[in-house]
Protein backbone atom coordinates (compact mmCIF):
# COMPACT_ATOMS: atom_id res chain seq x y z
CA UNK A 1 0.00 0.00 0.00
CA UNK A 2 1.23 3.53 -0.79
CA UNK A 3 2.62 5.61 2.10
CA UNK A 4 2.56 8.86 0.12
CA UNK A 5 1.14 11.88 1.96
CA UNK A 6 0.41 13.73 -1.26
CA UNK A 7 -1.78 12.86 -4.25
CA UNK A 8 -1.38 14.72 -7.54
CA UNK A 9 -4.62 14.60 -9.57
CA UNK A 10 -4.90 16.06 -13.06
CA UNK A 11 -6.80 16.18 -16.31
CA UNK A 12 -5.00 16.67 -19.60
CA UNK A 13 -6.42 16.75 -23.14
CA UNK A 14 -3.18 17.16 -25.09
CA UNK A 15 -0.42 16.17 -22.65
CA UNK A 16 0.85 19.46 -21.20
CA UNK A 17 -0.82 19.15 -17.80
CA UNK A 18 0.10 15.44 -17.74
CA UNK A 19 3.79 16.30 -18.14
CA UNK A 20 3.63 18.93 -15.39
CA UNK A 21 1.68 16.60 -13.06
CA UNK A 22 4.15 13.79 -13.57
CA UNK A 23 7.16 16.07 -12.80
CA UNK A 24 5.41 17.37 -9.68
CA UNK A 25 4.55 13.87 -8.46
CA UNK A 26 8.23 12.89 -8.78
CA UNK A 27 9.39 16.04 -6.95
CA UNK A 28 6.88 15.49 -4.12
CA UNK A 29 7.21 11.71 -3.96
CA UNK A 30 3.45 11.71 -4.48
CA UNK A 31 0.91 9.29 -5.93
CA UNK A 32 -0.48 10.28 -9.31
CA UNK A 33 -4.06 10.06 -10.58
CA UNK A 34 -5.28 11.01 -14.03
CA UNK A 35 -8.90 12.11 -14.39
CA UNK A 36 -10.19 9.90 -17.19
CA UNK A 37 -13.32 10.34 -19.28
CA UNK A 38 -15.20 7.63 -21.15
CA UNK A 39 -15.62 10.07 -24.11
CA UNK A 40 -12.78 11.14 -26.37
CA UNK A 41 -11.92 14.86 -26.68
CA UNK A 42 -9.30 14.73 -29.39
CA UNK A 43 -9.34 16.74 -32.64
CA UNK A 44 -11.34 19.79 -33.69
CA UNK A 45 -14.66 18.36 -32.47
CA UNK A 46 -13.11 17.55 -29.11
CA UNK A 47 -11.77 21.11 -28.87
CA UNK A 48 -15.21 22.58 -29.63
CA UNK A 49 -16.98 20.32 -27.18
CA UNK A 50 -14.41 21.25 -24.51
CA UNK A 51 -15.03 24.93 -25.18
CA UNK A 52 -18.81 24.56 -24.89
CA UNK A 53 -18.51 22.35 -21.77
CA UNK A 54 -16.35 25.02 -20.11
CA UNK A 55 -18.44 28.04 -21.11
CA UNK A 56 -21.78 26.42 -20.22
CA UNK A 57 -20.33 24.60 -17.16
CA UNK A 58 -21.91 21.42 -18.54
CA UNK A 59 -21.63 18.37 -16.26
CA UNK A 60 -19.55 15.53 -17.79
CA UNK A 61 -18.97 11.88 -16.91
CA UNK A 62 -15.61 10.80 -15.52
CA UNK A 63 -14.35 7.32 -14.70
CA UNK A 64 -14.06 6.07 -11.12
CA UNK A 65 -10.96 7.27 -9.25
CA UNK A 66 -8.23 4.76 -8.38
CA UNK A 67 -7.01 6.46 -5.19
CA UNK A 68 -8.93 7.24 -2.00
CA UNK A 69 -8.44 11.02 -1.72
CA UNK A 70 -9.47 11.10 1.95
CA UNK A 71 -6.29 9.20 2.93
CA UNK A 72 -3.94 11.99 1.73
CA UNK A 73 -2.81 15.00 3.77
CA UNK A 74 -2.62 17.11 0.64
CA UNK A 75 -4.26 16.74 -2.77
CA UNK A 76 -2.66 18.77 -5.58
CA UNK A 77 -5.14 19.29 -8.42
CA UNK A 78 -4.12 20.30 -11.93
CA UNK A 79 -6.12 21.42 -14.95
CA UNK A 80 -5.68 23.07 -18.32
CA UNK A 81 -7.46 26.45 -18.51
CA UNK A 82 -10.46 26.31 -20.85
CA UNK A 83 -12.10 29.65 -21.75
CA UNK A 84 -10.81 31.18 -18.52
CA UNK A 85 -12.31 28.27 -16.56
CA UNK A 86 -11.33 25.03 -14.94
CA UNK A 87 -11.62 22.15 -17.46
CA UNK A 88 -14.96 20.30 -17.39
CA UNK A 89 -13.50 16.91 -16.27
CA UNK A 90 -11.61 18.61 -13.39
CA UNK A 91 -14.84 20.40 -12.42
CA UNK A 92 -16.59 17.00 -12.36
CA UNK A 93 -13.78 15.49 -10.26
CA UNK A 94 -13.96 18.33 -7.72
CA UNK A 95 -17.75 17.99 -7.44
CA UNK A 96 -17.43 14.23 -6.89
CA UNK A 97 -14.63 14.45 -4.31
CA UNK A 98 -15.56 17.64 -2.48
CA UNK A 99 -16.64 15.82 0.70
CA UNK A 100 -13.40 13.82 0.93
CA UNK A 101 -10.83 16.58 0.51
CA UNK A 102 -8.67 17.91 3.35
CA UNK A 103 -5.96 20.31 2.18
CA UNK A 104 -5.66 21.23 -1.48
CA UNK A 105 -3.20 22.98 -3.78
CA UNK A 106 -3.88 23.93 -7.41
CA UNK A 107 -1.89 24.15 -10.61
CA UNK A 108 -2.88 24.90 -14.17
CA UNK A 109 -1.33 25.05 -17.61
CA UNK A 110 -2.50 27.58 -20.16
CA UNK A 111 -1.61 29.53 -23.29
CA UNK A 112 -1.55 32.82 -21.40
CA UNK A 113 -4.76 34.12 -19.82
CA UNK A 114 -7.37 32.91 -17.36
CA UNK A 115 -5.47 31.28 -14.50
CA UNK A 116 -6.92 33.59 -11.83
CA UNK A 117 -10.55 32.89 -12.78
CA UNK A 118 -9.84 29.16 -13.11
CA UNK A 119 -8.21 29.08 -9.64
CA UNK A 120 -11.15 31.02 -8.16
CA UNK A 121 -13.58 28.45 -9.58
CA UNK A 122 -11.47 25.58 -8.23
CA UNK A 123 -11.51 27.18 -4.77
CA UNK A 124 -15.33 27.42 -4.83
CA UNK A 125 -15.73 23.89 -6.14
CA UNK A 126 -13.32 22.44 -3.55
CA UNK A 127 -15.02 24.45 -0.79
CA UNK A 128 -11.63 25.67 0.47
CA UNK A 129 -8.70 27.83 -0.46
CA UNK A 130 -5.49 26.17 -1.71
CA UNK A 131 -2.33 26.18 0.42
CA UNK A 132 -0.44 27.15 -2.76
CA UNK A 133 -1.05 27.67 -6.51
CA UNK A 134 1.06 27.51 -9.62
CA UNK A 135 0.18 28.58 -13.18
CA UNK A 136 2.46 27.64 -16.08
CA UNK A 137 1.98 29.41 -19.40
CA UNK A 138 3.17 28.14 -22.78
CA UNK A 139 5.48 31.18 -22.93
CA UNK A 140 7.16 30.21 -19.63
CA UNK A 141 7.61 26.66 -20.89
CA UNK A 142 9.22 27.97 -24.12
CA UNK A 143 11.60 30.12 -22.03
CA UNK A 144 12.67 27.02 -20.06
CA UNK A 145 11.09 28.35 -16.84
CA UNK A 146 8.82 25.36 -16.17
CA UNK A 147 11.20 23.35 -13.93
CA UNK A 148 12.11 26.38 -11.83
CA UNK A 149 8.43 27.28 -11.28
CA UNK A 150 7.64 23.69 -10.31
CA UNK A 151 10.58 23.58 -7.92
CA UNK A 152 9.37 26.76 -6.18
CA UNK A 153 5.84 25.30 -6.00
CA UNK A 154 6.95 21.92 -4.65
CA UNK A 155 9.24 23.54 -2.04
CA UNK A 156 6.31 25.65 -0.87
CA UNK A 157 4.17 22.51 -0.54
CA UNK A 158 6.93 20.66 1.33
CA UNK A 159 7.25 23.56 3.76
CA UNK A 160 3.47 23.47 4.35
CA UNK A 161 3.62 19.74 5.06
CA UNK A 162 6.55 20.24 7.46
CA UNK A 163 4.63 23.01 9.29
CA UNK A 164 1.60 20.73 9.62
CA UNK A 165 3.75 17.92 11.01
CA UNK A 166 5.27 20.33 13.54
CA UNK A 167 1.80 21.44 14.64
CA UNK A 168 0.70 17.82 15.07
CA UNK A 169 3.68 17.23 17.38
CA UNK A 170 2.68 20.22 19.48
CA UNK A 171 -0.94 19.10 19.98
Ligand X SMILES: Cc1cc2nc3c(=O)[nH]c(=O)nc-3n(C[C@H](O)[C@H](O)[C@H](O)COP(=O)(O)O)c2cc1C
Binding residue (CB under 6 A) for ligand X from 27, 30, 101, 110 = 110
**DSSP, residue by residue, 82-113:** ETTEE-HHHHHHHHHHGGG--EEEEEEEESSS
Nearer to ligand X, 103 or 137 (CB): 137
Least distance between ligand X and beta carbon 102 (Å): 25
- The CA distance from 43 to 51, in Å, is 12
Binding residue (CB under 6 A) for ligand X from 7, 17, 97, 153 = 17
Torsion of CA 89, 85, 71, 154, to 10 degrees: 120
Establish if 109 lies at the interface with ligand X (CB under 6 A).
Answer: yes
- The CA distance from 166 to 44, in Å, is 50
Alpha-helical regions (H) of the chain? 16-28, 43-56, 88-97, 115-126, 138-142, 146-170
- The CA distance from 126 to 143, in Å, is 32
Least distance between ligand X and beta carbon 160 (Å): 25
Window of 26-34, 67-75, 98-106, 111-119 that interacts with ligand X by CB under 6 A: 111-119
Interface characters, 86-105, with ligand X (x: CB under 6 A): --------------------
Establish if 32 lies at the interface with ligand X (CB under 6 A).
Answer: no
Binding residue (CB under 6 A) for ligand X from 51, 65, 120, 161 = 51
| Contacts to ligand X by CB under 6 A | 12-18, 47, 50-51, 54, 80-84, 109-114
Amino acid sequence: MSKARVLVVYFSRTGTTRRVASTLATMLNADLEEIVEPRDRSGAMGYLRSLVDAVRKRPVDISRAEHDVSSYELVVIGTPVWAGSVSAPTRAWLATNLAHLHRVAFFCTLRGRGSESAFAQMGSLAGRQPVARCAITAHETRLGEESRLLEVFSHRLERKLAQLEEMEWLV
